Chains A and B, each alone.
Chain A
C-alpha cells in the first residue's frame, strides 16, 4: 500500500505594524484614536513601572524582580482586548497586563517587596495570583473555562505564560484538554526567546511555538509580539471566537526579553550584546511612536508629557507602597484555611 498524506498544516504569522511604524490598513483593528493613545500611555506606564521596580530593587527597596522590558506590546495589547468579566491567569512577568487591567499599582509593587497581602486581587477583577511555578497555571485556565461554560457565562479565559512553559507537561495536558472540550480559553504565550539562560532553540526543536497548537486540534497563530496592533487583533478575535463557543486559540507573541531574567540574573553571561542591541532597535514602544508620529499624533514633546504623567503615577504608587505598614505576623496564619486548625490557632496565639 502506498503511504498517504493524512494531513498537512500551515502556520500563520500576523504582523500589522512594521518596524517603521507603518500599519497594514487591511489588517488594522478597529481602534479609535483615543484608544490608540491609551495603548501608548499604558505601554509607557508599563515601561516606567518596570524601570522603577528595577531601580528600587537595586536600592534594596524591593525584592527580586522579573523585568518585563520589551514585552509591553504583548502584555498591553492582549489585556486591552479583555472585558471586565474575563478571567486572567498570569505567570509572574505580566505586570504590563496587570497595569492595563487596572490592578492597583502600589499593590503590584507590594508583591515584589515580599508582602503576600498584594495577592488579594481587587474584587472587581478576575485575576489569579502571580504564578511562580512555570506553566502550572495553564490547567487552571482550562478549569475556569469549563466552569464558565457550565454556568453558561459569556466569559472567556486568558492564560499567560512564556516560551519556557511550553516545555512543561502542564502546558501540553492543558492544551490537549482545552482542545478535547473545545473550551473558551485563549492561550497567550509571550515567547521572549529566553528562559533564564536557555534560548528558544534549547527549549524546542519546533520552527514556531504556534504550531504546537496543531497537535491538539487547536488554532495556533504567531503574531509579532512587538506589534501592539497584531497582538490586540489576534487576542480580540480569539476572545470573540471563545465567546461564541468556537473553541480555544493559542497565540504566540514573538517578542524579546530585553532585560535580565530577574534582578538576581546577569544575562551578559549567556547572550551577546549584539543580539540585545538588535532587539533594542525593535522596541515595541518606539514602533508605536513612529506610527503616531506619522499621523501627527506624537512629537518628542508629547512623548515627554506622557512619560511625565506615567512617572507621576509611579512616584505616587511608590509612596503609597512604602507607606503601607508591614504585615502583622498573624498574617502568616490568616487565610490558610477558612477555619484554622486547632494547632494553627494555638501557634497563631504564641508566634
Chain B
C-alpha cells in the first residue's frame, strides 16, 4: 500500500472511478489544464480528455445547474466549486433543484452527482476561502453531506459518494490536504455513507468531530479516556454510533470549526438529549468557533477551536 496525502487519495478515487464508469464527468473552474487550484484533479484531463474534465467559465450557478441536467440525463457529474465560500451563488441550484429533483419528479428523474469543494479554516487564505458552513447544507432534505478526515476515508467515501443514487456534497478539509499521509489501498473500497467511525476508543467521555477538527481533537485528548467519533457523514449522521457511545460514557463534547449558533453541534446535541437523556452524567458541551464571520489570517487562530478549549470542555464534563 502507498502512503498518500488527501490530495493524492481523492485524485486516485476520481481517476479509478472515471476509468471504471464512463458516466463520471468532472466540471469546474481550473479543474482541467491547471489540475485544480489545489491540484486535486491534476492529470485527469490529460488522461480522460477535455470532454470528461471540463474547464468551465467562471459561473458557479451554471456549473451546479448544468450538473443537475447532466445527472438527470444519465451522467454522474462531479462539479467542483473552487472554495466553499463560492457555493453560495450556486445555492439555489443545489437547494431548489439538485436536492429536490427526485421528489419533484416523483422519482422520474434523479440527481446522482458529487459536488466537491474545499472547506475549512487555517490555511491563511483570503476572505471566503476558509468557510465552514456545513450546517446550511445539512439543513437541505435530499442532499447528503460527507466530510473525510484523512486520505483513507477520503478515497473510500468519495467512491461511495460517486456510486450513490442521490446528490452528495463532498467537503474536503483544506488544512488536511497535504498535512496527513496514510496507507491508502490502491484497489477499490468504499466506506458506507451515513456511518461514523470510532477514531479512538475510550470510556469516560464521547467526543464528536469531523474534518480538520478530528485531527485537532485526537491531538488534544491524548491524556483523556475519550471515545472519539469521526462523523464522516454529516447528513444523515450516524445516530446509532453516537448514541451507543454516549450511553457508554454518559458525557458528550461536540467540536466543530463552524460557528456555534445553529451549527451541526446543535442537531447532534438535540438528538442526544432526545434519545439518551437519562444516560447523561453531565451537560452536552460544544466547542466551536464564535458567532462571527471567518476572520482573515491574523485572527484565524483565535477563531478556530483550540486544543486548550477542547481540553477545558473535557475537564468540565468530567468534573461535573
A residues with a Cβ closer than 8 A to B are 63-64, 92, 113-116, 130, 132-136, 164-165, 167-170, 195-198, 202-204, 264-265, 269-270, 326-327, 329, 331-333, 336, 341, 343-344, 347-348, 351
Contacts and interface: CB of A to CB of B under 8 A. Distances in A.
The 10 closest A-B pairs by CB, nearest first: A114-B297, A197-B34, A167-B57, A164-B58, A347-B290, A114-B296, A329-B302, A167-B59, A132-B127, A167-B58
SS class, residues of chain A in contact with chain B? loop
Nearest to A131: B127
21 contacts: A63-B126, A64-B126, A114-B124, A115-B296, A115-B298, A130-B127, A134-B58, A135-B58, A136-B89, A169-B59, A169-B89, A195-B57, A195-B58, A196-B34, A264-B125, A331-B299, A332-B290, A332-B302, A336-B293, A343-B261, A347-B291
B299 A92 contact: no
Interface string B62-87: 10000000000000000000000110
B297 A202 contact: no
Given A169-B61, A198-B29, A333 B292 contact: yes
Contacts of A116: 295-296, 298-299
A235 B110 CA distance: 49
A344 B291 contact: yes
Given A132-B127, A326-B298, A269 B34 contact: yes
A113 B298 contact: yes
Interface string B233-274: 000000000000000000000000000110000000000000
Contacts of B56: 198
A332 B34 contact: no
A116 B32 CA distance: 33
Given A132-B128, A347-B291, A63 B29 contact: no
B29 A196 contact: yes
A232 B55 CA distance: 35
A231 to B, nearest CB: 23
Contacts of B37: 196, 264-265
A247 B298 CA distance: 42
Report which residue of A92, A202, A348 has the largest number of chain B beta carbons within 10 angstroms of its beta carbon: A202
Interface residues on B, range: 35 or more
Contacts of A202: 55, 57
A63 B124 contact: yes
A197 B297 contact: no
B34 A341 contact: no
Interface of B: 29-30, 32-35, 37, 55-62, 85-86, 88-89, 124-129, 260-261, 290-293, 295-300, 302-303
Contacts of B297: 63, 113-115
A332 B300 CA distance: 9
Report which residue of B37, B86, B127 has the largest number of chain A beta carbons within 10 angstroms of its beta carbon: B127
Nearest to B58: A164
B240 to A, nearest CB: 31
B298 A204 contact: no
B124 A198 contact: no
Contacts of A336: 291-293
Contacts, number: 117
B124 A168 contact: no
B128 A344 contact: no
Nearest to A196: B30
Nearest to A167: B57
B85 A114 contact: no
Report which residue of A116, A135, A168, A332 has the largest number of chain B beta carbons within 10 angstroms of its beta carbon: A332
Contacts of A92: 126
Contact of B125 (A64, A170, A195, A351): A64
Nearest to A332: B292
Contacts of A165: 58
Nearest to A271: B33
Contact of B30 (A197, A329, A343): A197
A114 B299 CA distance: 8
A343 B89 contact: no
A113 B297 CA distance: 7
Contacts of B296: 63, 114-116
A333 B299 CA distance: 11
Contacts of B291: 336, 341, 343-344, 347
A322 B86 CA distance: 31
Contacts of A265: 37
Nearest to A112: B126
Contact of B57 (A197, A204, A326, A331): A204
A346 to B, nearest CB: 9
A336 B296 CA distance: 14
A176 to B, nearest CB: 15
A168 B58 contact: yes
B130 to A, nearest CB: 11
A326 to B, nearest CB: 6
A203 B58 contact: yes
Contacts of B126: 63-64, 92, 132
A216 B57 CA distance: 21
Contacts of A329: 299, 302
A59 to B, nearest CB: 14
A30 B207 CA distance: 70
A170 B60 CA distance: 11
Contacts of B128: 132-133
Nearest to A197: B34
A11 B142 CA distance: 47
A19 B295 CA distance: 44
Contacts of A196: 29-30, 34, 37
A198 B27 CA distance: 13
A195 B29 contact: yes
A333 B260 CA distance: 14
A134 B85 CA distance: 11
Contacts of A326: 298
A332 B303 contact: yes
A47 B290 CA distance: 39
Given A135-B58, A136-B89, A167-B62, 16 more contacts: A114-B300, A115-B297, A132-B85, A132-B126, A133-B88, A134-B86, A167-B59, A169-B89, A170-B89, A195-B29, A197-B32, A202-B55, A202-B57, A203-B58, A336-B292, A336-B293
